Amino acid sequence: MVEKLKKLWLDGEFVEWDQAKVHILTHSLHYGLGVFDGMRAYKRADGATYVFRLREHIDRLFDGCKMCFLTPQHTREQVMSVCLEVLRVNGLAEGYLRPIVYVGEGAMGIYVPNNPVRTAVLAWHWGAYLGDEALKSGIRAKISSFARHHVNVSLAKAKMCGQYTNSVLAKREAKLGGYDEAILLDTSGYVSEGSGENIFIVRRGIIYTPDLSCSILEGLTRDTIITLAREMGLTVIECRLTRDQLWMADEVFFTGTAAEVTPVREVDNRAIGDGTVGPITKKLQARFFDIVRGSDTSHPEWLTRV
């Protein structure tokens, strides 16, 4: 359950948490067109709170809106400063921020050009998405019977609300089957991503991840890990991957704002490597956490102080 905070921001003003209601006629509720994003704020070793990659998350939100013909009533700069304000107003030193742009009530039917485009920003406490143990020891994943949307069926690069039914169904299937997370293939059978994470494999010291022409979200944690790995002298290849490459990998891990850097110790009941967290995953995970929560100051451009 999301723990109730004091206030959230809705269309230009702060409203009490319990008053933040939407009308049942809200168009996005029925038809799914809306765009959201998610970012984390961390308390670092210097005692201050920083939002990780705030500008890029808001850029992705606005890029998604552009692709969906949604014109937010507020600028990128306004939404960025609201994100910081939401944390301050709620006294949140660490948490998850969720801006969402959606189509409000008015007309019904598929084409509603005059319904209001609304924007909300809220935050909540969110610990390790897949659990603390998952970060330490890794998770068990299963390839889903649901394929990721074909690139011409939906917009993989947008965090579009309705698109997430695909993720929700895949995740439910995986959990009901006794696994922690789903891995989705694309409609041609190549590896796409997790229900809410990008995926990486390591084989013979080389890191591989699906390239951006695949049906994947352009994850900011993905970009962070690729940058850090290359800085650490590791080779990263972005290319199409097959299911058997997952099974043969020495290491597999997920990246995401929610999932951070989560090792995968088993895929489809096959142990990855020796079934424990591999050395490259460990190194990248440690560097990631040192940047977001520790004292590594090598990427000040990724951190916005609250």
Ligand X SMILES: Cc1ncc(COP(=O)(O)O)c(C=O)c1O
β-pairing verdict for 181-185 and 191-194: antiparallel
Exactly one of 7, 142, 159, 171 is catalytic; name it: 159
Residue 35, both tokens: 């765009």
Cα 218 from Cα 221, distance rounded (Å): 9
Tell the residue number behind the tokens 């579009």, with chain if given.
160
Tell the residue number behind the tokens 């507020």, with chain if given.
74
Closest to ligand X by CB, 217 vs 292, is 217
Closest to ligand X by CB, 104 vs 291, is 291
In the complex, least distance from residue 226 CB atom to ligand X, rounded to whole angstroms: 11
Cα 280 from Cα 253, distance rounded (Å): 10
Residue 76, both tokens: 């990128």
Binding range to ligand X, per CB under 6 A, among 93-101, 118-126, 190-198, 271-279: 190-198
Q: Which of 26, 49, 257, 285 forms a contact with ligand X (CB under 6 A)?
A: 257
For residue 274, what are the CA distances in angstroms to 106, 207, 277?
57, 17, 8
Binding range to ligand X, per CB under 6 A, among 109-117, 138-146, 214-222, 281-289: 214-222
Q: Which of 217, 229, 292, 303 forms a contact with ligand X (CB under 6 A)?
A: 217
Cα 200 from Cα 139, distance rounded (Å): 14
Binding range to ligand X, per CB under 6 A, among 3-11, 89-97, 127-135, 253-261: 253-261
Task: Report how many residues bind ligand X under the rule CB under 6 A.
Answer: 14
Q: Could you confirm whether 159 is annotated as catalytic?
A: yes
Residue 28 in contact with ligand X, rule: CB under 6 A: no
Cα 53 from Cα 44, distance rounded (Å): 14
Please give the residue whose beta carbon sits closest to ligand X in the complex: 219
HSE of 247, CA atoms in CB hemisphere, 13 A = 8
Residue 64 in contact with ligand X, rule: CB under 6 A: no
β-pairing verdict for 251-256 and 236-238: unpaired
Let me know if 260 is exposed, middle or buried by CB neighbors in 10 A (0-12, 13-18, 19+): buried
Residue 282, both tokens: 């460990």
In contact, 139 and 180? CB cutoff 8 Å: yes
Residue 260 in contact with ligand X, rule: CB under 6 A: no
In contact, 270 and 250? CB cutoff 8 Å: no
Binding range to ligand X, per CB under 6 A, among 69-77, 103-111, 193-201, 266-274: 193-201
In the complex, least distance from residue 227 CB atom to ligand X, rounded to whole angstroms: 12
Q: Which of 99, 104, 196, 263 forms a contact with ligand X (CB under 6 A)?
A: 196
x/- map, 99-128, ligand X, by CB under 6 A: ------------------------------
Residue 198 in contact with ligand X, rule: CB under 6 A: yes
Q: Which of 174, 220, 226, 267 forms a contact with ligand X (CB under 6 A)?
A: 220
In the complex, least distance from residue 116 CB atom to ligand X, rounded to whole angstroms: 26
Residues in touch with ligand X (CB under 6 A): 38, 167, 193, 196-198, 217, 219-222, 255-257
Active site residues: 159
